[in-house]
Amino acid sequence: MKILHSDVLVIGGGLAGQRLALAVKRRGLEPSILSLVPAKRSHSVAAQGGMQASLANCFKGEGDNEDVHFEDTVRGSDWGCDQRVARMFAHVAPKAIRELAAWGVAWNRVRAGEHEVVINGERVTLTEREAAHGLITARDFGGTRKWRTCYTSDGTGHAMLYTLSDRVIAESIPVLERQEALALIHDGQRCHGAVVRDLMSGELSAHLARATVIASGGYGRLYGISTNALINEGMGAALALETGVARLGNMEAVQFHPTAIVPAGILVTEGCRGDGGVLRDADGHRFMPDYEPEKKDLASRDVVSRRMAEHMRAGKGARSSYGEHLWLDITQLGAAHIDRNLREVKDICRYFLGIDPAKDFIPVRPTQHYSMGGVRTDHRGESPWLSGLFSCGEAACWDLHGFNRLGGNSVAETVVAGMLVGEYVADFCQSAHGDLEISTALARDFVLREQRHLEQLLTRPGGENAVSLRRRMEQIMTDKVGLFRNGPDLESAVAELAGLLARSEEIGVRGGLDANPELVLAYRLPRMLKVALTVAMGALNRAESRGAHFREDAPARNDRDWLNRTLACWYEGEALPTLEYEELEVSRMELPPGFRGYGAKNLIEHPDAASRQAEVDEMHAAKLDRHAAQSYLMSFKQFLPLKYRGRNERLDEPLP
Amino acid sequence: MTASRTLTFHVFRHNPRDPDSVPGVRDYQVEEAPGMTLFIALTRIREEFDPGLSFDFVCRAGVCGSCAMLINGRPGLACRSLTGELPADISLFPLPGFELIADLSVNTGKWMRAMSERLQAWVHAAGEVNLNEIEIAMDPELAESIYELDRCIECGCCVAACGSAQMRPDFVGAVGLNKLARFRLDPRDDRSDAEYYQLIGDDSGIFGCMSLLGCQDVCPKELSLQTQIAFMRRAMARQGL
C-alpha cells in the first residue's frame, strides 16, 4: 500500500484551498493540495463580477467601512449567519484584497475626474477624487449600500485564481492534479487524512496528514441546470457526511442566481445590473421597480430570483422552445463599457447565444448558483465533532452567508477564510493535539475498504443505469427542492431520493479500474444522493421561509421558532440522515433580527429581538467612536489571528 | 431553422496505460439539436453509446481552458464550439504536444506547471506589504493592460498550433512568452530584462519562435500574442547585444 504524508492535506485547489496552503506553508508546514483538475481550472475561475471589500476609494464607496459591509452581509443572510464570523470576514476582506493587489491581481483602478455611469436607467456623471486616483475601484452589486465590489473587468475569479496559483508555484507547494479523495481516514474522534484515488491510473493511496482540509466547493451539480462547473458535485460534503461523525450545516440553503442564460445555464454576472443593466419582461417592461421600489433590480439574489419567478407565473415571461424566461437588458451601457468591463459576458453571448449584448437583450432565468450550506465548522474552520478536520470556502459552513449570500462575498470569503483558517490549521498542527498518531493498520483498513468497493462495482450485474438515476435526481432537486418549495413536494422528494439511493447500490460498471468515467459516476452517485437527501430533508423540516429557502406553505420568516442552523449527520447504518438544530443567540447579536429593507415583509419576531434592539439603540445613542461601540456590542477581534487584528486604513480614515 | 442533421463524430480512442489498447478512431452518430455544442454532443455520446469515453470539461463556459482539442484538425475549445458551425462529419482528436491521458484527455496541467516553474512565472516582489495600509496606486490604463495579457486560460491551443513546439519539445510556447510579457509590464515585478533574458534568451524561448503565428490564429481569448512575442524579442535581442 502506498502511503504519502504531509503536514496539511488540502482537498480542493480553488481560491480557498490554495490561499490556505500558502498560509500554512508560511508557518513552516508542508501542505499538499489535491485537485480533481489542474488547479487553475477550478470553479473559482468562473467568478466574474467581483470581490467585496470596504476600501471606500471610489465616489459611490465613500463612507463605506467594515460596519456597513457587516450589516449588508447579515441582512443578506436573512439573519441566518454567524455574526461573529461576518465581523471577522468584513474586517479581513480589505487586507485580503490588498494582499492580492501586492501579489499581482490587476484590480481595476479609480480614474480621477468625471465619468459617466448608468444608475437606475439614467446616465449620470460622477466625479472621482484626485486622492483616490489609481486606488482600487468598485462597482455596485445587489444588497449593498455602497459600491464595494472590486473587480478586474468581469474576470475577477480568473485574475485572483491565477495570481494565487502562481504564488503556490512560487512557494513550491505541490498540487496533486487529477486526484480524488474517496474517504476520510479517521477513528471517530480524530481525522488522519484521506484515501486518495489517482483519476489517471486508478491507483489508491493513503494520504496521511496532521490536519485535513475540505475546500472542494459546493454541490450545485445535484441540480440539473446550474451555473456551477461540472466538478461541483458535493463530494467534499459527502466526505464529511460519510464519516458518520462530522456534521453538515444548513444544507437546504441553496442560492438561485437571477441571470443565467437560457438554455445553457451559464452565468452572466450581477455586474451587468450593478453597472446599470435592468430586467425586462415579455413586453419589454422593466418590472423589478414594481416589486422592489427601494432596491429595484439590485435587491439580494434570493429576492430578485423569486420576483422573476413570480412575474413569469403571472404570465409575463417571454416564451421560447426552452421554456419561459425574462430578458436582461444591458444595451444602455453601450459597446465601449461592455468591451471594457463586461467582456466575458460579451463572449458568452456571442458563443452560446449568437447575440451582441450591446444591441440585443439576453435571455435569462433564475438558476442554481451557490451552496450556502456545507461542512459545519466553528469560526476557526474546524469540525467540532472530528478533530483535525477543517473546511473553508464554499465547501464549508462556518457560517458567513446564512440563508443567502451576497454577490461579491463568495470570492472574498474564499481568500479571507483561506487566510484565517490557514492560521488556525497551523496553530492546530503546532499544538499538542497536532501530532500525527495513526496506526498503518487503520490506514490500510480504509484503503482496502475503498479498493474492495471499487472492485465490487466491476463485478455487479449492473441492473441499474447510473445516468438515468442521476437525471432523475437532478429533476427531483430542480422541481421539488428549487426556488419555491412546499411540504408535500419535499416529502415526495425525500422518499424518491431515498429510493434512488437504494437503487444506486445496483449500478454496475463495464470498464476497468483506471481512467474510466463510468466508474467515477458509479462511485460518486450514491454520495451525491446522500448529500441531496440532506438538502431535501433540511428543506422539508424547516417550516418557514428564510433567504433562499422559500416555503409556499410557510411564507413568513419565523424567528420565534427557526432562528437556528440545521445540522445533518449520517450515522452509520442509518437509511437517512439525522437532523438537529443549533440556536442563534439573539442576545449576542450586534445586529438584532429585523426587516431586511427588501423582499416581502413577513416576519414572526423572536421574543428577545426587541430587548436586544433596545440595548443596541442605547449604545448607538451614546455616540461612541464606532470601533468602541462595536466592541461593546459584540467583541470579535480576539477571535482573529494576531497578525490580522490591525485597523484598515482608508482615505478618510487614517491609521491611528 | 434548417432541417435537423445527423452528425457523424470520428473520435480518437486510446488508453496508453492499457497494453491491449490500439490507437484508433471510433465513429458515433448523433442527431443534431438546436444550439448543440461539442460539450453537449460528447456528453450524449458518453451517456448513450460509450460510458468509458474520456474527455475533459469543467466550466463548459469557455473560461477554464480544460476542453481544448483538435476539432476537424484545428485546436479549439470544444465547450463553446457549436455543431451548427461545423460540417456533418466532425473529427475530434486530443491536443498534440501534451501527454495523452486517454482518448481526448491530455495532461495540459502538468505541462503548464513545468513551464511556470521554469519561467518563474509569478510576480517577483521585493518585500511584503503592510496589509493595513492603503494599497499602492497603479495607473488605471496600466492595470487594464496587465489584465489584458492576464486573460490567458492555459488551454494549450497555442502550443498545439505552434510549429516550433512540434519540433522542440522544450519550447515554452506563446503561453510562456505571453506570461513573461505580462510580468515585464507589471511594475510590481522587480525583474530586469537581463533576468528575463536568462529565462527565455535562447531557442527554447523567444528566439525559437518562427513567427508562423498559428498561436494567435487559434487563441480562444484573442490575445495579441504576435505583438507580445515581437516586443519581447526586441527587448531580449537588445539584451543579447
| Residue A415 CB coordination number (10 Å) | 29
The reported pLDDT for the residue numbered A515 is 85
Cβ–Cβ of A40/B112 closer than 8 Å? Answer: yes
Q: What does the pLDDT average to over B18-40?
A: 94
The residue type of B4 is: S
- What distance in Å separates residue A150's CA from the closest CA in chain B? 13
DSSP A37-52: S-GGGSGGGG--S-EE
Q: What is the pLDDT of residues A232-258, one digit of tens each?
A: 999 999 999 999 999 999 999 999 999
The reported pLDDT for the residue numbered A438 is 87
DSSP A132-155: TTTSB--B--TT-SS--EE-STT-
- Largest CA-CA distance found in chain B, in angstroms, rounded: 64
The reported pLDDT for the residue numbered B1 is 46
Q: Which of A38, A45, A136 sits opposite B108 (nearest CB)?
A: A38
Closest-CA residue of B relative to A55 is: B134
- Within 195-224 of B, beta carbons closer than 8 Å to A belong to none
Give the integer Cα–Cα distance in Å for A379 and A84. Answer: 8
**Contact call for residues A538 and A250 (beta carbons, < 8 A):** yes
Looking up cell 455616540 gives A623
Q: What is the pLDDT of residues B134-155, one digit of tens each?
A: 999 999 999 999 999 999 999 9
Q: How many residues belong to chain B?
A: 241
Q: What does the pLDDT average to over A639-655?
A: 97
Closest-CA residue of B relative to A199 is: B101
| Residues from chain A contacting residue B113 (CB–CB below 8 Å) | 38, 169, 175, 177
Q: What amino acid positions of A are annotated as catalytic residues?
A: 257, 273
| Residues from chain A contacting residue B186 (CB–CB below 8 Å) | 104, 106
| Residue A284 CB coordination number (10 Å) | 10
| Residues from chain A contacting residue B82 (CB–CB below 8 Å) | 351
**Contact call for residues A241 and A534 (beta carbons, < 8 A):** yes
The reported pLDDT for the residue numbered A502 is 97
Count CA atoms closer than 13 A to B172's CA, side-chain side.
26
| Residue A30 CB coordination number (10 Å) | 17
| Residues from chain B contacting residue A423 (CB–CB below 8 Å) | none
Partner A contacted by B82 (CB < 8 A): yes
What is the pLDDT of chain A when averaged over all its residues? Answer: 96
Partner A contacted by B20 (CB < 8 A): no
Cβ–Cβ of A108/B37 closer than 8 Å? Answer: no
The reported pLDDT for the residue numbered B127 is 84
Closest-CA residue of A relative to B147 is: A106
| Residues from chain B contacting residue A474 (CB–CB below 8 Å) | none
- How many residue pairs bridge chain A and chain B with CB atoms within 8 Å of each other? 203
- What distance in Å separates residue B60's CA from the closest CA in chain A? 7
| Beta-bridge mates of residue A582 | A565
Which pTM value belongs to this model?
0.97
Cβ–Cβ of A264/B105 closer than 8 Å? Answer: no
Cβ–Cβ of A158/B46 closer than 8 Å? Answer: no
**Contact call for residues A260 and A367 (beta carbons, < 8 A):** yes
Choose among A654, A223, A540: nearest CA to A549.
A540
Q: Which of A102, A108, A518 sits opposite B52 (nearest CB)?
A: A518
Q: Which of A41, A133, A648 sits opposite B137 (nearest CB)?
A: A133
| Residue A461 CB contacts under 8 Å (≥ 6 apart), including other chains | A506, A508
Q: What is the pLDDT of residues B188-233, one digit of tens each?
A: 999 999 999 999 999 999 999 999 999 999 999 999 999 999 999 9
Q: What does the pLDDT average to over A346-363?
A: 95
The reported pLDDT for the residue numbered B2 is 53
Partner A contacted by B176 (CB < 8 A): no
Q: What does the pLDDT average to over A587-609?
A: 95
Q: What does the pLDDT average to over A408-415?
A: 98
Q: Which of A39, A55, A106 sits opposite B147 (nearest CB)?
A: A106
Percent of chain A past pLDDT 70, that is, above it, reads: 100
Partner A contacted by B240 (CB < 8 A): no
Closest-CA residue of A relative to B220 is: A347
Burial of A202 (0-12, 13-18, 19+ CB in 10 A): middle
The reported pLDDT for the residue numbered A512 is 86
Q: What is the pLDDT of residues B36-46, one digit of tens each?
A: 999 999 999 99
* pLDDT tops 50 at residue A634: yes
Q: Give the lowest-confidence range in A19-23, A207-211, A458-462.
A: A458-462
Beta strands per DSSP E along A310-456: 326-329, 362-371, 374-376, 389-391, 396-397
Cβ–Cβ of B59/A517 closer than 8 Å? Answer: no
Cβ–Cβ of B138/A646 closer than 8 Å? Answer: no
Choose among A364, A155, A409: nearest CA to A258.
A364
DSSP 3-state percent helix, strand, coil across chain B (nearest 5):
40, 15, 45
Cβ–Cβ of A169/B113 closer than 8 Å? Answer: yes
Partner A contacted by B1 (CB < 8 A): no
The reported pLDDT for the residue numbered A29 is 98
